[in-house]
Amino acid sequence: AKNCGKNNAKLYSSSLTMQIMSHVKLEVGLRKALKNEELYLLYQPQIDVRTGDIVGVEALVRWRHPERGIISPTEFIPLAEETGLIVPIGEWVLRTACKQAMAWQRVAKRSLRMAVNLSAKQFKDENLTQIVVSALHDTGLDPRLLELELTEGTLMDDARATMATLEQLRGIGVHLSIDDFGTGYSSMNYLKRFDVRALKIDKSFISGLPQDSENAAITRAIIAMAHGLKMVVVAEGVETDAQLGLLQEYGCDLVQGFYLGHPSPHEAITQMLLQPCAE
């Protein structure tokens, strides 16, 4: 028995085995996370550059793991996609976010746009439209206040299926935006055909501003193109006053980032909304 234990110790110290073990453990945990109410949402403000008002929020999911503490979505969303768990998790995110948007409408007496991330797997799920319709119906949220964030990769994958799904979503009246814009492959032709409300410039372009002249040129070009196509532009990852200043100068519409507000619990957003006047 002693020897056996020794061998096991050897086996488990191999880092690949450790990785596989922790992956499997995480997956088992993720299956229970929804039922055990371990997932929660943070909300990051989206600010109108001209007025300084908070006009919307993006919902960002977190997992409070009973042993490991808080786990980032960059770690568990890929796992959720792999296992298909993203569909029930995504539905929970959508419902929770819509419910919260309604709650803010009641307390703050103003309409905030709610942005929710959709992964490729959710977008391809044949029940997506039904899931969105029932979340809106059950919470009473105006569809025009819901914005679904999709990445370029999700949209470009299968043109015909994408068009059909976008048509259905447009039929419901929800808005769409392209997340992480500039990091994937977008065809300009599709940009023209897709009925997308907003482009979100990826934070990798914003992070070097204002010094990085190449990123500045790209940012300015994306803003000009989006405006030419009658789209709204959101800059994400805004961390400094200098970045905000430059984006203002370029005519960017909305900004999101640590400088304007970290992803925060709903109570903190309520506080922001109830403050007499931002700015």
Q: Which residues bind ligand C2E (CB under 6 A)?
A: 44, 59-61, 72-74, 77, 90, 93, 117-119, 179-180, 203, 236-239, 257-258, 263
Q: Which does 44 bind (CB under 5 to 8 A by kind): ligand C2E, Ca ion, none?
A: ligand C2E
Most distant pair of Cα atoms in the chain: their distance: 73
Q: Closest distance between ligand C2E and the C-beta of residue 2, in Å?
A: 45
Q: Closest distance between ligand C2E and the C-beta of residue 153, in Å?
A: 11
Radius of gyration from C-alpha coordinates of the chain:
21
Nearer to ligand C2E, 145 or 238 (CB): 238
- Is the distance from CB of 264 to CB of 54 less than 8 angstroms? no
- Is the dihedral angle over the CA atoms 251, 252, 255, 259 positive or is it negative? negative
Three-class secondary structure of residue 158 per DSSP:
coil
Q: Which does 237 bind (CB under 5 to 8 A by kind): ligand C2E, Ca ion, none?
A: ligand C2E
Nearer to Ca ion, 179 or 253 (CB): 179
Helix axes 15-33, 2-13, angle to 10 degrees: 80
- Is the distance from CB of 198 to CB of 220 less than 8 angstroms? no
Identify the residue among 44, 117, 177, 219 touching Ca ion (CB under 5 A). 117
Strands 254-255 and 39-48: antiparallel
d(CA 35, CA 196): 34
Q: Closest distance between Ca ion and the C-beta of residue 180, in Å?
A: 4
Q: Closest distance between Ca ion and the C-beta of residue 202, in Å?
A: 6
Nearer to ligand C2E, 12 or 258 (CB): 258
Closest residue to ligand C2E in the complex (CB): 257
Burial class (CB in 10 A: 0-12, 13-18, 19+), 90: buried
Q: Does 149 bind Ca ion (CB under 5 A)?
A: yes
Q: Does 180 bind Ca ion (CB under 5 A)?
A: yes
Q: Does 152 bind Ca ion (CB under 5 A)?
A: no
**Phi, psi of 142, deg, nearest 5:** -65, 125
Structure tokens at 259: 């400088």
Q: Which does 30 bind (CB under 5 to 8 A by kind): Ca ion, ligand C2E, none?
A: none
Q: Which does 239 bind (CB under 5 to 8 A by kind): ligand C2E, Ca ion, none?
A: ligand C2E
- Is the distance from CB of 167 to CB of 194 less than 8 angstroms? no
Binding site for Ca ion (CB under 5 A): 117, 149, 179-180
